[in-house]
Amino acid sequence: MAWRFRDRYMPGEIIIIPFDITQKLHKLNETLDAYRWYELLPAKEREKTIGDGGILADILTKHVMCCYYIGWFDIEDDEAFENYKKDFRKLFIDPHPAFAACRFAACLGFIRHQRKLIEQCEFLSSVQEGDSILTNKSINIENQSVPWD
């Protein structure tokens, strides 16, 4: 079973969110400190960490996606990180599961729309594959069937 939401960024598209998204969002909440550790790594180490794939890369990718959606781009500062955690919980943890799923669907729609804009942009068409989390086509952000245990 799953919720179906209209994509607010690409009219006519539907985003399907599984009912177990609440458990997955709670797992993301439990890994906020791991995400901060990842963000404090040098750029080459970050690229290697996500490039290796696996469950850790999937979780970190979802954190990057949520952070980008929420609008926190620099969480190296303690205060900024605390604000990101507060905003993450306010949007994805504290609300009723249906509202959290709706917000996560909006997050997926936003990221998917941004990726589409990047792909259409001629200026960025020369970017090397894997240079950016948003242009890396090997990462499927809509895949919610990956076990996070």
pLDDT in tens, 74-110: 777 888 888 889 999 999 999 999 999 999 999 999 9
Spatial separation of the C-alpha atoms in residues 55 and 147, rounded to whole Å: 7
Structural domain total, the chain = 1
In a domain, 97, yes or no: yes
In a domain, 1, yes or no: no
Q: Would you call 137 exposed, middle or buried from its count of C-beta atoms within 10 A (0-12, 13-18, 19+)?
A: exposed
In a domain, 28, yes or no: yes
Collect all residues with Cβ–Cβ distance below 8 Å to 97 and sequence separation of at least 6.
19, 21, 22
Q: What pTM does this model have?
A: 0.73
In a domain, 51, yes or no: yes
Please, what is the average pLDDT of the chain? Answer: 80
Q: Which residue shows structure tokens 């599961």? A: 97
In a domain, 63, yes or no: yes
In a domain, 147, yes or no: no
pLDDT category of residue 39 using cuts at 50, 70 and 90: confident
In a domain, 118, yes or no: yes
Spatial separation of the C-alpha atoms in residues 134 and 117, rounded to whole Å: 10
